[in-house]
Amino acid sequence: MSRGRIIVLGALLVSLALVGVYFAAGGASYTPEQTQNPCKPRPPEQTSGGLEGLAEKITLSALDGAACQLGVSRERLARALATKEARERFAKRYHIDDEKLAKALRAGLLRAVDDAVEHEELSPLLAAPVRATIENVPLEEVIELVQDGKKLLSGEGILGGLGTAIEELIP
């Protein structure tokens, strides 16, 4: 037998063994995980802590709250907010105008602030001006806040000096 045929035969045996291991490990019955219902409470997310961690929790909670109001998954809403074109396709598919989207996103952000207060990650005293800000920002800024919760909490965000105070008070 020539050397080339031995190599091909060896590669064939290795690939058959790989397929066998795949099936033995349950690969034939794989089903993807279902996306979670955004209306049901989730266990608190594990994050890096500090401002970054709180911002991540606020983003995820805000997406859940808004997705619940809109009747879609958190993942679908996050993809829809990625670009203006994606948002327009989403709005057309689900018959959602900018006003309804803004209302849902604001409600999601308010839910996220309430969650942070409930989990003692944000002081109730600081939550009041954050809530007032959320209720008065335009749609484009609301989208930015949902996409990056840090913009809501940092000194460089829409809260300015209050954001700096929040940064100092977050563990």
- Let me know if residue 57 belongs to a domain: yes
Residue-wise pLDDT tens digits, 38-76: 888 777 666 666 777 777 888 888 899 999 999 999 999
- Let me know if residue 72 belongs to a domain: yes
- Let me know if residue 2 belongs to a domain: no
Total structural domains within the chain: 1
Q: For residue 168, is pLDDT > 90?
A: no
- Let me know if residue 87 belongs to a domain: yes
- Let me know if residue 54 belongs to a domain: yes
- Let me know if residue 30 belongs to a domain: no
- 41: which 2 tokens? 């409470």
Q: Which helix (H) or strand (E) holds 167?
A: helix 161-169
Q: For residue 18, is pLDDT > 90?
A: no
Q: Which residue's entry shows tokens 């800024």?
A: 141
Residue-wise pLDDT tens digits, 142-162: 888 777 766 666 555 555 555
- Let me know if residue 21 belongs to a domain: no
- Let me know if residue 149 belongs to a domain: yes
Inter-axis angle of helices 50-70 and 98-118, to 10 degrees? 130
Q: Which domain holds residue 147?
A: 50-169
Cα separation, 92 vs 101, whole angstroms: 12
